[in-house]
Amino acid sequence: MATSYLLPCYVVITVLVLFFSVDVTEGAIREYQFDVQMTNVTRLCSSKSIVTVNGQFPGPTVFAREGDFVVIRVVNHVPYNMSIHWHGIRQLRSGWADGPAYITQCPIQSGQSYVYKFTITGQRGTLWWHAHISWLRATVYGAIVILPKPGVPYPFPAPYKEVPVIFGEWWTADTEAVISQALQTGGGPNVSDAFTINGLPGPLYNCSAKDTFKLKVKPGKTYMLRIINAALNDELFFSIAGHPLTVVDVDAVYIKPITLETIIITPGQTTNVLLTTKPSYPGATYYMLAAPYSTARPGTFDNTTVAGILEYEDPTSPPPHAAFNKNLPALKPTLPQINDTSFVANYTAKLRSLATAEYPAAVPQEVDRRFFFTVGLGTHPCAVNGTCQGPTNSSRFAASVNNVSFVLPTTALLQSHFAGKSKGVYSSNFPAAPLVPFNYTGTPPNNTNVANGTKLVVLPYGASVELVMQGTSILGAESHPLHLHGFNFFVVGQGFGNFDTAKDPAKYNLVDPVERNTVGVPAAGWVAIRFRADNPGVWFMHCHLEVHVSWGLKMAWLVLDGDRPNEKLLPPPSDLPRC
């Protein structure tokens, strides 16, 4: 049965018109104004001025439907350069609106503005937006809710209500100062002071009981939680006491429903879950907890727990005002151990695409181009006669893909490509495999130094790509959530140890693998993905742990234009920022 959805009244719906050469043949136009401004916020008994959108923390939710054309005018009123990424939006032929600074655009300078314009094509579910420059996404982020086309139901029972649940990370210090200091010393950055749910740290932190996210529910109802991990540097377990969660969607792609007590979600990922409340008033409240998953060394990540509270409406309270009893017992869930890698592997292995006639899994069955990328940490030497705070006093922390630590250019890669002026900006010789193979998950090599470079992989339009990403044990085996801009991909295989080209491909799932935009490369393991290069432009791929991005764990793909008019990148908009 089709469900009727209402969009918030503050979304402006205008008559259909053509903007530049963007084809708007269906759907509505949704317009938003994003004023980037400094706002005073108090958390953990400490106030500071943070960068926000429209003075909101988290920022405003962008609502749209599949097929809509979205227009978001971003005005930068803060002293920092700004750019905003619409995480997971395919951006078909509209790479100018993707948002990563110095990849698809120069940043929006203080006092300047830029209008992001894109069509939501073939997507519905939960995505999110965030700043994509330095560490400003610590406070500049919000949800993107994409509803189905009018009259199209969910492929599961329609929920009574839908609620965004956004995990974040809070520093009492200025995050721009935190990463600046780390890059100067070569050491690891100071870890955050708290995690947050919808911007609130909750009762397990000092001075924060009043700043607690409360999900108020009625008995016998089903709620859909649109869960987003916007934390900078931490994968998170999440569970609600006494209430199993049914996962129905990841990264805005429907999956075969699975019911679990606990989920794992990496930075960059989204997960829609159905929560069915008790059939009658339970006489208890229930904690929802999120805590980190990490195999890194203790002290290098925030090892705290954030709590929200699930509260039932008291049926004995007289209408019209629902009452919530504050004196009930509070039950807590049990989360996995902090380094429970087997739980993570078992969870991710359960995720499967719907693979129905209506929602097919278009997995490339044949492969045109194969790549093998190592992803992990490494080192740079200190400056001559300098000392550092890296793994040794003569080295600095670094990170790389195939031993190339990516250096951002000073002008945008997409602009350089479109103008035919790549010389001196980037080279197109990113290695398809490690130049010097080694035992990736075994004893690390003696030399852990990585090279610097601004190198891209060039793909012909329409090529079917297989990429195996291999984690390494250099400076410790860690999970790395890798995000690919401009595409969804199918996760066809994963495993532990070194990828075996003779045996592992035979175990691939080419029937109903999960489709995502962000995937965790297992600690001391590998993951294999496939995608079709059907989107011309320059597309960033990077670890979504911000500290690793700062150290260089990133690269980019250049997809060339195809032969047909609808296979070519559109020209840049007239207001594209300049460097």
Query: Within this chain, do residues 428 and 455 fall inside the same structural domain, yes or no?
Result: yes
Q: Are 148 and 124 in contact (CB under 8 A)?
A: yes
The reply to whether 84 falls in a domain is yes
DSSP reduced 3-state for 551: helix
HEC sequence for 329-386? CEECCCCCCCCCHHHHHHHHHHCEECCCCCCCCCCCCCCCEEEEEEEEEEEEECCCCC
Instruction: Give the CA angle between residues 527, 530, 533 to the nearest 5°.
Output: 140
Q: Given pLDDT bands bounded at 50, 70 and 90, which one contains residue 322?
A: low
The reply to whether 361 falls in a domain is no
| CA pair distance 134, 288, nearest whole angstrom | 31
Q: What percent of the chain has pLDDT over 70?
A: 94
The per-residue pLDDT for range 339-353, each reduced to its tens digit, is 999 999 999 999 999
**Which uninterrupted H or E stretch holds 519?**
strand 518-521
Q: What is the mean pLDDT of residues 153-177?
A: 98
Query: Within this chain, do residues 277 and 228 fall inside the same structural domain, yes or no?
Result: yes
**Domain count within the chain:** 3
Query: Within this chain, do residues 520 and 442 fall inside the same structural domain, yes or no?
Result: yes
Query: Within this chain, do residues 418 and 546 fall inside the same structural domain, yes or no?
Result: yes
Query: Within this chain, do residues 104 and 195 fall inside the same structural domain, yes or no?
Result: no
Query: Within this chain, do residues 128 and 168 fall inside the same structural domain, yes or no?
Result: no
Query: Within this chain, do residues 143 and 85 fall inside the same structural domain, yes or no?
Result: yes
pLDDT surpassing 50 at residue 21: no
Query: Within this chain, do residues 143 and 165 fall inside the same structural domain, yes or no?
Result: no
Domain boundary pick from 112, 147, 182: 147
CATH number at residue 413: 2.60.40.420
Query: Within this chain, do residues 119 and 226 fall inside the same structural domain, yes or no?
Result: no
The reply to whether 577 falls in a domain is no
Q: Given pLDDT bands bounded at 50, 70 and 90, which one contains residue 386?
A: confident
Cα-Cα-Cα-Cα dihedral of 142, 278, 326, 229, to 10°? -20
The reply to whether 24 falls in a domain is no
Q: Which of 1, 22, 114 is nearest to 67 (CA)?
A: 22
> Residue with structure tokens 């879950």?
273
Full residue range of the structural domain in which residue 74 is found: 29-147
Query: Within this chain, do residues 461 and 485 fall inside the same structural domain, yes or no?
Result: yes
Burial of 508 (0-12, 13-18, 19+ CB in 10 A): middle
Domain boundary pick from 125, 147, 169: 147
Q: What is the mean pLDDT of the chain?
A: 94
Q: Which of 119, 49, 53 is nearest to 82 (CA)?
A: 53
Least confident of 24-33, 60-69, 245-254, 321-330: 321-330
| CA pair distance 65, 73, nearest whole angstrom | 19
Cis ω for the linkage preceding 318 (within 30 of 0): no
β pairing state of 330-331 and 194-197: unpaired
The reply to whether 465 falls in a domain is yes
The per-residue pLDDT for range 133-147, each reduced to its tens digit, is 999 999 999 999 999
Q: Given pLDDT bands bounded at 50, 70 and 90, which one contains residue 320?
A: low
The reply to whether 565 falls in a domain is no
The reply to whether 168 falls in a domain is yes
Identify the pLDDT of residue 24.
43
Identify the pLDDT of residue 319.
66
The reply to whether 155 falls in a domain is no
pLDDT surpassing 90 at residue 87: yes
Domain boundary pick from 94, 120, 147: 147
Query: Within this chain, do residues 242 and 110 fall inside the same structural domain, yes or no?
Result: no
| CA pair distance 510, 363, nearest whole angstrom | 6
Q: Which of 576, 487, 472, 567 is nearest to 529 (CA)?
A: 487
Least confident of 24-28, 395-399, 490-494: 24-28
Q: Given pLDDT bands bounded at 50, 70 and 90, which one contains residue 23?
A: very low
Q: What is the pTM of this model?
A: 0.95
**Which uninterrupted H or E stretch holds 550?**
helix 546-551
Query: Within this chain, do residues 332 and 219 fall inside the same structural domain, yes or no?
Result: yes
